[in-house]
């Protein structure tokens, strides 16, 4: 879980997403967790 969070954080920093996009950031994180639970 922390690994996915870290990867998403790096992606977020890399693309310099502004704070207004934090909702999208958490949505992506949430869907990654859902996808992970399938396996």
The torsion angles phi and psi of 13, rounded to 5 degrees, stand at -70, -40
CA distance 39 to 25: 22
Per-residue pLDDT of the chain (39 residues; tens, 9 = 90+): 567 778 877 877 776 656 556 777 787 788 877 776 654
pTM of the model: 0.33
Q: Are 37 and 8 in contact (CB under 8 A)?
A: no
């Amino acid at each position: 879980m922390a690994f996915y969070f870290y990867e998403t954080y790096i992606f977020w920093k890399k693309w310099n997403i502004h704070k207004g996009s934090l909702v999208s950031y958490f949505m992506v994180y949430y869907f990654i967790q859902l996808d992970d639970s399938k396996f």
